[in-house]
Amino acid sequence: MNSQTSSPDMPQQPSQRLDAQLCFALYSTSLAMGKVYRKVLAPLGLTYPQYLVMMVLWEQDERSVSEIGERLWLDSATLTPLLKRMEAAGLVQRTRSAADERQVMVTLSPAGREMQRSAAEIPTGILCATGCTPEGLKALKAELEVLRRNLQQAV
C-alpha cells in the first residue's frame, strides 16, 4: 500500500481518491435523504418510491406502467410489485387497457386522490431537513441533472 503511493502510478491516486469520494458522497447522501423521507412519509404510510408514483399520478391521473416508468426511470420489474402493494393499500387501481391489452392503466382511488391534501406538507418538511436555501437547492438540482444525463449516456 505504501509502495503504491510512491510508485509511478501515483498520479492515479488523487483521481482514485476524488472519484471514490464523489461517488460515495452521492451514494451516502442519497441514503441519508431516504432516511429523512422514511420519517416524513411514515404518517402517510408511503415509501419514497411510492410517493414518487403518487406525485406522478397527482400530476396526471390514469397512466400506463411504462409511462410512470419513463417519468421515474424505473422499469416494470420494480414498478409492478410496487404498484400491486399500492393497489392492496387502496391507493390506486390497475386495469387492463381495452385499447392495447398489453398495457395496464394505473388510476388513483378516491383515497389516493384525497391523500394529496395531507401530503401537502411533505415538501416543506424535506426542505427544512436539507438546511439549504431554495436557490442552493436549485443549483444543486441542475448539476445533478447534468451528471445524470451524462451517466445515462455512458451505459
Please give the residue ranges that form the binding site for DNA (CB under 7 A). Answer: 27, 31, 34-35, 38, 47-50, 64-66, 69, 73-85, 94, 100-104
Name which of a second copy, DNA, none residue 112 binds, using a CB cut-off of 5 to 8 Å depending on partner kind. Answer: none
| Buried-state track 44-60, b at ≥16 Cβ within 10 A, e below 16 | eebbebbbbbbebbeee
* Host H or E run for residue 87: helix 76-88
Q: Which grid cell is 93?
A: 387501481
Q: Is residue 73 within the footprint of a second copy (CB under 8 A)?
A: yes
Q: What is the rounded distance in angstroms from the CA atom of residue 62 to the CA atom of residue 57?
A: 7
Name which of a second copy, DNA, none residue 104 binds, using a CB cut-off of 5 to 8 Å depending on partner kind. Answer: DNA
Q: Residue from 10, 29, 42, 97 that binds a second copy (CB under 8 A)?
A: 29
Backbone angles phi, psi at 95, to 5 degrees: -135, 145
Q: Residue from 6, 31, 99, 102 that binds a second copy (CB under 8 A)?
A: 31
Q: Residue from 44, 47, 48, 94 that binds a second copy (CB under 8 A)?
A: 48
Q: Is residue 88 within the footprint of a second copy (CB under 8 A)?
A: no
Nearest residue to 104 (alpha-carbon basis) of 71, 124, 139, 79: 79
- Decide whether 10 or 111 has the Cβ nearer to DNA: 111
Residues in the chain: 155
